[in-house]
Amino acid sequence: MPIVNVDAKSWHGKSIRSRFEEKIIKPEKTYATTDCWIWNAGLRGNNGYGGFRVNATSIRLAHNVSYELYVGDIPKGMKVLHKCDNPLCVNPSHLFLGTQQDNIKDRDIKGRQRNRYSVKQLGKASDLKGGQ
């Protein structure tokens, strides 16, 4: 479901766009397209992806919100994937659309299948947030 009127004031009295941008750590306060923009707020679920409360009843994946704010709508059946493989990154230049099959293929090519050792080897998402 697309975000409607991202610059309209939300129940917080701020626009969705301004609330979203307050929760991002950008490298040296620039909009550099080469570096990850780290989501510095709540997580959604236990998979390390950021969560953003769009309104009083809807929490969305932060990278999906970023795509909609800076790129455009997400067509039905498509997912927002990361070029950088950082689940906390919301830099729109690191995001692209693909199917679930594309995501699986990308995962396999890059050798990032989850297994019982993944968290031990890579650390938890909460550890990534503060370190970057």
User: Is the model's pLDDT at 120 over the cut of 70?
Assistant: no
Residue 105 contacts residue 52 (beta carbons within 8 Å): no
* Burial of 109 (C-beta count, 10 Å sphere; 0-12/13-18/19+): exposed
Q: What is the per-residue pLDDT for 88?
A: 93
**Among residues of the chain, what percentage have pLDDT more than 90?**
42
Residue 99: pLDDT above 70?
A: yes
pLDDT in tens, 41-97: 988 877 889 999 887 788 899 999 999 999 999 999 999 999 988 999 999 999 999
